[in-house]
Structure 1
Amino acid sequence: MPLLARMLASPLFVEVRRGAVDNLATLLEERRISNGGRVLVAVGASQGEAIWARIAEGLPNATVFTVPDASLASAGLLQEALGAHGYDAVVGIGGGRTLDVAKYAATRAAVPMVAVATNLAHDGICSPVASLEHPHGKGSYGVAMPLGVVVDLDYVRAAPPRLVRAGIGDALSNLSAIADWELAAAERGEHIDGLAVAFARSAAEALLHHPDGIESDEFLGVLAEALVLSGMAMSVAGTSRPCSGACHEILHAVDELFPGTADHGELAGIGALFATYLRGDEVLLERLATTLTRHGLPRTPAEVGLSAEQFARAVEHAPRTRPDRYTILEHLALEPAPLRAAVEAYAARLA
């Protein structure tokens, strides 16, 4: 009987600790990514440039590219820079926007990419998706997973606490996304990848059951690992399905209709809570709400400055952000009046 197996894409290394960035040049050499340090370093403003100043001496053959924004245009410029010389790899240093630009450009140029994350705001650290702006809005693009991931907890601690907490909301929303995937399987026969679900669920459950908060290095390590696992779940599935359901439809709708309302992870947490409420899963609703409260994350539209009417408009618009996706929103297909009533009842439930 033949032995069947599948090969899984994963980073060559994941380094999560204090002072991890100081070892970057050695990691690139030991992992045979770049023996001579001939890499293009893409940095964001503030922390990205500060980190480069700290490690530049160890990478004398590197070239620096400053990423101005998270747009397709910026990614195109970085891709063009990659084509000008024979670089061994791209090293993206910064937050999610910088890493998304670096992932997209590296993929299009067929060059390996190493992600050096300066915050833990969402699961884009290791995901096979880049979210980039274009003249008509924002799009999600398939990209190669980073070859290596470095998270220096010293820099994570220097980031605004709100950004770090946001990553908790993004990881927890996996549980709602999985429930939506299971609903799509029951209603439309959609295939579920059990291994992808295992990765995504493990990431969320690790945070649900951890007693500490972002003041703890141990917790930050667990959060970083959860975000990496979420990225691997999407890679295994070949889709963002295990980490993106109604929760992310809602957050994308809020971003489109009311830009600047809140961070990605904060909106993912609220979206997951509301979707769970619509599914009538009181056990999961209570677990998610308790964890978000413990970490000081918003749970209701009012906590991010949205009225019930505005949030209802976003939920109504949400299915249009992912026309191919079937979630509790598409399943219920609520008309405006009952949808507004559901939002008000949800807010009252969590008051």
Structure 2
Amino acid sequence: MAVLTRLIPGPAAVRIGAGAARELPAILADQRISTSGRLAIVISEGSGSELRERLREYLPADAGWFPIRGGALDDAVDVADRIRASAGSGGGHGLGSYDTIVGLGGGRVIDVTKYAAARLGLPMVAVATNLAHDGICSPVSTLDNDAGRGSYGVPGPIGIVVDLDLVRDAPAAFVRAGIGEALSNLSALADWELSHDETGEPVDGLAAAMARTAAEAVLHQPGGIADPAFLAVLAEALVLSGLAMSVAGNSRPSSGACHEISHALVLLFPGKYGQHGEQVGLGAAFASHLRGDAERTGQLVDALRRHGLAAVPAELGLDAASFVEAVTYAPRTRPGRYTILEHLDLTEAKLRDAVKDYVDTYAR
């Protein structure tokens, strides 16, 4: 009897550790990702110049450097066009002379680079300098567009490098955001299972196991953001979350009501209330409360507070009325996705009561 298995999409190389970015050329050569060493490196216009100077001696001298201004779809298209156009610049660099595109920076740089690499048909390597979200390894680019923000399917990175020295040098808020992102898997998975029970949506058990393992590892890992062992576990969890999305073929393992609430906050109050990871952490705890899961809600609230994240709206600088407005709007951000918000379909008045109950229970 034939035994059927499936191939799991994933990077050819993953390296997490102190000073890992300095090892990039060797990692790419060893894994036959880039044997020529001809790299197109995408960085931000701001902090990217400092990274370039810091890593210059460790990276190929003939690498091409391409700064970007922001994290919009237009930026991704622009940098892809600049890399392609450099073929006729006479400088010896061109699309034909690059064999790999490297995104060196935070989530915005990595998302732009993934999209640009897909547009050019070249392999992409993510070199993460912070741990703000799980896009490090996901097959999705989240980019601003004329309608607000969109998620675009792209090939996942062929290589992942997380330099914990660079992560420690980044603002602590980025690490805290990554913690919220990882923990939110627990709520997203509960929403996925709810959808399976109520609508028949299939659940990919392997993807769910990977996402749950990532979140539980962060939930129960001792130490904090100054602890190298904790940072390594968080980095591994974010990579595993991205892989879970690759296995599932969508963002379901890591995105439920928690992310709908975050997307609503961004659309209604752009740039006003914390980072994405902070928002989804709060959203996950509140969604767990709506599900009536007091044990899980308590675990999430305790973990958020232990790492300095907001556990109630006020701790994010958000008043109750604005939070209710965002939760009311949230289902409109992901049409067709079934979560606890769509399941309960609460009126605004009932949501106000639910938010008040949550705050009364968990506010300090």
Q: TM-score, normalised by structure 2?
A: 0.94
Residues 277-300 of structure 1 show CA distances to partners (whole Å, capped at 9, x for unaligned) of 000001101111111111111011
**Structure 1 range deviating more: 40-49 or 148-157:** 40-49
Q: Does 1:14 align with 2:26?
A: no
Q: Deviations over 1:187-233 (max 9, x none)?
A: 00000000000000000000111111111111100000000000000
Q: Which of 171, 177, 181 matches 2:182?
A: 171
Counterpart Cα distance in 1 of 2:156 and 2:70: 21
Task: Give the Cα–Cα distance (whole angstroms) in 2 for the partners of residues 125 and 274 of structure 1.
Answer: 26
1:109 aligns with 2:120: yes
Q: For residue 269 of structure 1, what is the aligned residue in structure 2?
A: 281
- Aligned-pair CA distance for 1:46: 4.3
Alignment match, 1:72? 73
Q: How far did 1:34 drift?
A: 1.6
Q: Which residue number in structure 2 is paired with residue 50 of structure 1? A: 50
Residue type matched to 1:327 in 2? T
Corresponding position of 1:287: 299
Alignment of 1:193-342 (within 5 A): 193-260=204-271, 261-342=273-354
Runs of 4+, deviation exceeding 4 Å: none
**Contact kept in structure 2, 1:36 and 1:61, CA below 8 Å:** no
Q: Which amino acid aligns with 1:67?
A: I
Q: CA deviation at 1:149?
A: 0.7
Note the alpha carbon deviations across 1:248-282, whole angstroms, 9 max, x for none.
Answer: 00000011111121101100100001100000001
CA distance in 2, matches of 1:72, 1:45: 16
Helix, strand or coil at the partner of 1:33: coil
Deviating more after overlay: 125-134 vs 43-52: 43-52
% identical equivalent positions = 55
CA distance in 1, matches of 2:129, 2:201: 37
Aligned equivalent of 2:84: 83
SS at match of 1:155: helix
- Deviation of 1:49 after TM superposition, in Å, equals 2.5
Residue pair 1:128, 1:144 contacting (<8 A) in 2 also: yes
| 1:224-244 deviations in Å (ceiling 9; x for gaps) | 000000000000000100100
Amino acid corresponding to residue 43 of structure 1 in structure 2: I
Structure 2: which amino acid aligns with 1:277? H
How far off is 1:310 after superposition? 0.6
SS at match of 1:66: strand
Deviation at 1:67, TM superposition (A): 1.2
**Structure-to-structure mapping, 1:111-150, within 5 angstroms:** 111-150=122-161
- For the residue of structure 1 that corresponds to 2:222, the secondary structure is coil
Give CA deviations for 1:109-139 in whole Å, capped at 9, x if unaligned: 1100000101001111111111111122111
What one-letter code is carried by the residue in structure 1 that aligns with 2:173?
A: R
Query: In the TM superposition, what is the alpha-carbon distance from 1:68 to its structure 2 partner?
Result: 0.8
Hey, what's the Cα distance between the residues in 2 that align with 1:55 and 1:287?
Answer: 40
RMSD: 1.0
Distance in 1, Cα, partners of 2:361 & 2:108? 35
Q: Which runs of 5+ in 1 are unaligned?
A: none
Q: Report the AA paired with residue 71 of structure 2.
A: A
Structure 1 residue 25 corresponds to structure 2 residue 25: yes
1:169–1:297 CA contact under 8 A, matched in 2: yes
Aligned-partner Cα distance in 2 for 1:264–1:39: 30
Contact 1:37-1:60 at 8 Å conserved across structures: no
Amino acid at match of 1:222: V
Give the whole-Å Cα distance in 2 for the aligned partners of 1:136 and 1:167.
Answer: 26
Report the Cα distance in structure 2 between the residues aligned to 1:150 and 1:47, rounded to whole angstroms.
18
Distance (Å, rounded) in 1 between the aligned partners of 2:158 and 2:50: 23
- C-alpha distance in 2 between matches for 1:16 and 1:48: 20
CA distance in 2, matches of 1:125, 1:276: 26
Give the TM-score taking structure 1 as reference length: 0.98
Counterpart position of 2:357 = 345
1:348 alignment partner AA: D
